[in-house]
Amino acid sequence: DAEITQSPRHKITETGRQVTLACHQTWNHNNMFWYRQDLGHGLRLIHYSYGVQDTNKGEVSDGYSVSRSNTEDLPLTLESAASSQTSVYFCASSEHENEQFFGPGTRLTVL
């Protein structure tokens, strides 16, 4: 069955370190998204991609970057982790106007 996976599921890092969160989908979807979820803020869009070599900034993109070298993967990089980036991160994918399929999430703690 097709799926979307995220790794690691839990990560603890220190302020200033570079961190990369992986997202892999086997739906063959063109659209992929990264969100963060914090209490009181719901889901906030970080970056998104409509296809290979395409990336776009979302509403909270500062301090984050993505690259899309193939259809299946959209890794999210925190260039220099900050305590404000402690959050739960969700990756999602979709095709055209259809619903999004979400990964299980990565809980990131920045100390």
Partner 1 sequence: AQSVAQPEDQVNVAEGNPLTVKCTYSVSGNPYLFWYVQYPNRGLQFLLKYITGDNLVKGSYGFEAEFNKSQTSFHLKKPSALVSDSALYFCAVRGTNAGKSTFGDGTTLTVKP
Footprint of partner 1 (CB under 8 A): 31, 33, 35, 40-43, 45, 48, 50, 58, 90, 92, 97-105
Residue 15 CB, nearest approach to partner 1 (Å): 25
Whichever of 65 and 100 has its CB closer to partner 1, that residue is 100
- Apex 97 CA angle, 93 and 98, nearest 5: 55
Whichever of 35 and 110 has its CB closer to partner 1, that residue is 35
Tell me how far apart the alpha carbons of residues 111 and 108 are, in angstroms, rounded to a whole number. 10
Residue 35 CB, nearest approach to partner 1 (Å): 8
> Smallest Cα–Cα separation from 59: which of 43, 41, 37, 44?
44
